């Protein structure tokens, strides 16, 4: 063991993790549950739903109105000093389908491309940790270094796709919010200079939205059938090749 | 702590003064940037009034591309995020997938993973140790660094087949076992790296010019570092005792084998450019020790767990981060039960490490800008992704 102070609950977490995954549901993660209790007590109705994977991770979903307030509470009252990252999720099932069987997965016609209204009920369910009803969610993670607990915070976004900024509490949220702004079109109210981070200023569209097509895939179906001469007398395999070896034809290979 | 804050405040006097300064473009192709970063500086005389990094010259959209690839294919992409320590990029993603699938790699695979992870760290940070010198006008160290890094790259290549992009980690284990004779060769290579570290200590750490240009330059108080999301050596140089290898379940048996070896997390209280250099120097030495112990204790057994031929990951969400050469690197993976991830959020270390630069560069002087950028140590692929 490396020298560690105050890491006792980390170690016990490891022990349980390794050999008790099967009955992990039965475990009670006291530290994380206590944190959620404190959060609920402080924020009240703003806490919509929580989710704990015992001894591993914890999620909390708050209302969009309480988003900035949550950050303030977490940093200044719960000592979540370390800002890890902030991003967003578009829960719309991709209208462009799966990608492997290029022939099957042609572009779905009439894909519902207008934002907000297109949320599909399939996306709901247990696989969405801490739940959520809207198409877009913001998602951030902060750490409490003293206890070693990381917390994932989510919030559902209404149709205006606006949420308060975290930059006042965590200055590091600046770039993360700019990225979410250009990639998802989410507005962070109160951000000092919300402008594009990576993309050129006149770029149109929000690339990480599910209804934004990955043009390289539309032009040339995976795995590059267009420009590869078929080998004689070799049949196409029934299923995608399991070999994880990389294709050498990644069009975006930038190394 | 108090004196660091005082120094930091001192360094930023005058920023409120009205300035009719000039604009200076650094980059996109300045050698200090390890890629194509552009920083627009507003200067008042020699003092920086405002710094605005402009990124995106290397943005490759990996988060989008990952959504149309199967899990095993994704590792090909993410190899290219931090291209100096590629293997380390693969590990957290694979671990996140394993976590969702509830698979655990056998012990030997975990050890070899950790081995290669640390070799990637050595290869990566070794270059920094020399490169920091060249940023300050000392050309010799960088040649030593390129020379000695080669020993490690050769070992990585011998084991994985790829010098820079191993693509070696698999869900459930690793691709191949180590080749014959590799352990002895690696030990020799570690000896070269240790000598290199001693050389760097002689050439730079004790050097008067080096110290004058790094001590007290670019001071980051611990609390500021944390709220900007700095990680890795940058935050340890500010006195924060935080290392995911020790402080996360993933490093402690949940995928990597750092709990099996004896090592130490180094911290420094100064938070300046010198401290960041010094920490990385110690960490390379520490990494050599970790690798040596892992080589000595390598368990036998299989290198792959039982995994289905076609990898489908059950629905769920997982965030796994590891202590990469540049800092915390993590993947937030959302699966909806398919062959490919529904969403992958890549948390790369350099992105957060760089986000402090507008704050940090304010009030500094032009020659120090390069020192500070070099000491923060970022890889552009790791910023732009």
Q: What is the mean pLDDT of chain B?
A: 85
* Closest alpha carbon to B232 in B340, B121, B90, B144: B121
Check residue B291 and give its pLDDT.
92
Torsion angle of C-alpha atoms A182, A183, A187, A188, degrees rounded to 10: -90
Query: A84, B347: Cβ pair inside 8 Å?
Result: yes
- The answer to whether the CB atoms of A1 and B262 lie below 8 A apart is yes
Q: What is the structure's pLDDT at B212?
A: 87
Q: In tens digits, what is the pLDDT along chain A, a chain of 255 residues?
A: 444 444 444 433 333 333 334 344 456 677 777 888 887 877 777 787 888 877 778 888 888 888 888 888 888 888 888 888 999 988 887 777 655 444 433 333 333 333 333 333 344 445 678 777 888 889 999 988 888 888 899 888 888 888 888 888 888 888 999 999 988 989 888 888 888 888 888 888 888 888 887 777 777 666 544 455 556 665 555 555 555 544 444 444 444
| CA dist list (Å): B337 to A77, A209, B274 | 38, 20, 48
Higher pLDDT: B8 or A18? It is B8
The pLDDT score that the predictor gives to residue A116 is: 34
What stretch of H or E contains B7?
helix B2-11
Contact B265 A3 (CB under 8 A): yes
Q: What is the pLDDT of residue B332?
A: 92
Does the distance separating the beta carbons of B355 and A172 come in below 8 Å? yes
Query: B12-24, pLDDT tens digit by residue?
Result: 555 555 546 788 8
The two tokens of residue A218 are 């539309």
Q: Which of B80, B319, B356 sits opposite A254 (nearest CB)?
A: B80
pLDDT value for A6: 41
In which residue are the tokens 């970022």 written?
A: B378
Task: Considering only the beta carbons, identify the residue of A21, A208, A222 that sits closest to B63.
Answer: A208
Q: For chain A, which residues make up each domain, given as ranges?
A: 8-214
Contacts of A102 in chain B (CB under 8 A): none
pLDDT number for residue B306: 83
Residue B2's pLDDT band, with cuts at 50, 70 and 90, is low
Cβ pair A17:B356 closer than 8 A: no
The encoded tokens of residue A210 equal 């599910």
A139 and B309 within 8 Å at the Cβ level: the answer is no
**pLDDT the model gives residue B33:** 60
Q: What is the pLDDT of residues B174-228, one digit of tens each?
A: 888 888 889 999 999 999 999 999 988 888 888 888 888 888 888 999 888 988 9
Model confidence pLDDT, tens digit, residues A128-159 = 787 778 888 899 999 888 888 888 998 888 88
Residue with tokens 């693969």: B90
pLDDT in tens, B92-125: 999 998 888 888 888 889 889 999 999 999 999 9
Instruction: For chain B, give the percent of residues with pLDDT over 90.
Output: 14
* B120 membership: H or E segment, kind and range: helix B107-135
Give CATH for domain B2-384: 1.10.645.10
User: Which of B170, B249, B309 has its CB closest to that of A17?
Assistant: B249
* Residues across chain B: 385
Cβ atoms of B304 and B174 within 8 Å: the answer is: yes
Interface contacts A/B by beta carbons within 8 Å = 185
- β-pairing, B22-26 with B38-44? antiparallel
Say how many C-beta atoms besides its own lie within 10 A of residue B224's C-beta: 20
- The 8 Å CB, 24+ separation contacts for A238-243 are A239/B310, A240/A100, A240/A101, A240/B70, A240/B310, A240/B339, A242/B72, A242/B309, A242/B310, A242/B311, A243/B72
pTM score > 0.90 for this model? no
Alpha-carbon span B100 to A224, nearest angstrom: 30
Tally Cβ neighbours within 10 Å of residue A127. Answer: 16
Distance in angstroms (rounded) separating the CA atoms of residues B279 and B90: 24
Task: Quote the CA–CA distance of B55 and B384 in Å, as a whole number.
Answer: 7
Query: How far is the C-alpha of A140 from the C-alpha of A64, rounded, in Å?
Result: 13
**Of residues B60, B63, B310, nearest to A254 (C-beta):** B60
Do residue B345 and residue A139 have CB atoms under 8 angstroms apart? yes
Task: State the virtual CA torsion across B153, B155, B157, B158 in degrees, nearest 10.
Answer: 160
Tell me, what's the pLDDT at A226? Answer: 47
Q: What is the DSSP string of B270-299?
A: S-SHHHHHHHHHHHHHHHHHHHHHHHHT--
What residues in A contact B252, CB-CB < 8 Å? 10-11, 14
Does the pLDDT of residue B258 top 80, yes or no?
A: yes
Question: For residues A93 and B338, is the Cβ–Cβ distance under 8 A?
Answer: no
What pLDDT is recorded for position B376?
87
- Whether the CB-CB separation of B164 and A254 falls below 8 Å is answered with no
Q: For B325-355, what is each residue's pLDDT tens digit?
A: 988 999 999 988 777 888 899 998 889 888 8
Q: Give the residue extent of every domain in chain B.
A: 2-384
The whole-number pLDDT of residue B25 equals 82
Choose the closest CB to B73 out of A89, A139, A244: A244
C-alpha distance from B141 to closest chain A C-alpha (Å): 25
**Residue bearing tokens 């594009």:** A196
Please indicate whether residue A244 or residue B82 has the higher confidence score (pLDDT): B82
Across the strands, what pairs with A59?
A51, A152
Q: Residue A42 contacts by C-beta under 8 Å, 6 or more apart in sequence?
A: A73, A77
Read off the pLDDT band of B151 (50, 70, 90).
very high
Q: Does domain A8-214 have CATH number 3.30.460.80?
A: yes
pLDDT category at B310 given cuts 50, 70, 90 is confident
CA B216 to chain CA mean position, Å: 23
């Amino acid at each position: 063991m490396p020298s560690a102070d105050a890491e006792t609950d980390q170690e016990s977490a490891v022990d349980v993790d390794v050999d008790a995954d099967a009955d992990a549901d039965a475990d009670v993660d006291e530290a994380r549950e206590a944190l959620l209790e404190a959060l609920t007590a402080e924020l009240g109705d703003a806490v919509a739903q929580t989710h704990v994977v015992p001894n591993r991770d914890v999620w909390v979903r708050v209302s969009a109105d309480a988003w900035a307030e949550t950050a303030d509470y977490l940093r200044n009252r719960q000592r979540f000093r370390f800002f890890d990252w902030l991003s967003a999720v578009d829960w719309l099932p991709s209208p462009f389908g799966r990608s492997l069987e290029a022939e099957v997965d042609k572009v779905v016609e009439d894909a519902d491309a207008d934002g907000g209204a297109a949320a599909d009920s399939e996306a709901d369910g247990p696989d969405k940790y801490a739940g959520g009803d809207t198409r877009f969610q913001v998602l951030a993670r902060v750490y409490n270094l003293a206890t070693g607990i990381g917390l994932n915070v989510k919030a559902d976004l209404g149709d205006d796709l606006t949420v308060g900024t975290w930059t006042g509490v965590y200055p590091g949220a600046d770039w993360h919010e700019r990225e979410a702004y250009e990639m998802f079109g989410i507005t962070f109210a109160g951000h000092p200079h919300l402008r594009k981070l990576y993309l050129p200023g006149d770029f149109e569209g929000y690339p990480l939205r599910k209804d934004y097509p990955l043009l390289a895939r539309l032009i040339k179906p995976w795995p590059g059938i267009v420009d590869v001469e078929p080998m004689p007398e070799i049949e196409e395999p029934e299923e995608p090749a399991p070999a994880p070896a990389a294709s050498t034809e990644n069009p975006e290979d930038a190394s | 702590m108090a004196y660091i804050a005082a120094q930091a405040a001192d360094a930023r006097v005058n920023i409120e003064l009205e300035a009719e300064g000039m604009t200076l473009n650094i980059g996109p192709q300045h050698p200090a940037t390890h890629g194509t970063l552009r920083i627009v500086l507003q200067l008042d005389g020699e003092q920086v009034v405002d710094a605005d990094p402009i990124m995106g010259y290397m943005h490759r959209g990996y988060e989008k591309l990952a959504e149309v690839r199967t899990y095993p294919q994704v590792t090909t992409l993410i190899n290219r995020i931090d291209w100096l320590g590629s293997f380390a990029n693969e590990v957290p993603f694979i671990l996140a997938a394993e976590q969702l699938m509830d698979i655990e790699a056998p012990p030997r695979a975990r050890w070899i993973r950790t081995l290669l992870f640390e070799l990637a760290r050595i290869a990566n940070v070794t270059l920094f140790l020399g490169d920091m010198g060249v940023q300050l006008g000392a050309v010799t160290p960088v040649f030593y660094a390129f020379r000695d890094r080669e020993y490690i790259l050769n070992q990585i290549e011998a084991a994985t087949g790829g010098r820079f992009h191993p693509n070696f980690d698999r869900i459930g284990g690793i691709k191949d076992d180590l080749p014959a004779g590799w352990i002895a060769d690696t030990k020799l290579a570690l000896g070269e790296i240790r000598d290199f570290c001693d050389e760097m200590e002689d050439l730079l750490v004790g050097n008067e010019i080096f110290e004058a240009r790094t001590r007290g330059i670019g001071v980051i108080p611990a609390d500021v570092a944390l709220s900007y999301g700095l990680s890795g050596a940058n935050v340890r140089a500010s006195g924060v005792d935080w290392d995911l290898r020790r402080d996360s379940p993933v490093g402690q048996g949940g995928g990597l084998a750092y709990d099996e070896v004896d090592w130490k997390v180094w911290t420094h209280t100064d938070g300046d450019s010198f401290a960041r250099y010094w920490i990385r120097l110690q960490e390379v030495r520490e990494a050599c020790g970790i690798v040596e112990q892992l080589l000595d204790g390598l368990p036998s057994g299989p290198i792959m767990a039982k995994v289905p031929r076609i990898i489908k990951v059950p629905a769920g969400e997982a965030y796994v981060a590891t202590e990469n050469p540049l800092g915390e690197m993590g993947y937030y993976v959302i699966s909806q039960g398919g062959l490919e991830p529904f969403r992958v959020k890549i948390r790369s270390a350099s992105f957060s490490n760089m986000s402090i630069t507008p704050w940090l560069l304010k009030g500094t002087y032009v020659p120090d800008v390069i020192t500070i950028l070099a000491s923060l140590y970022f890889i552009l692929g790791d910023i732009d992704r």
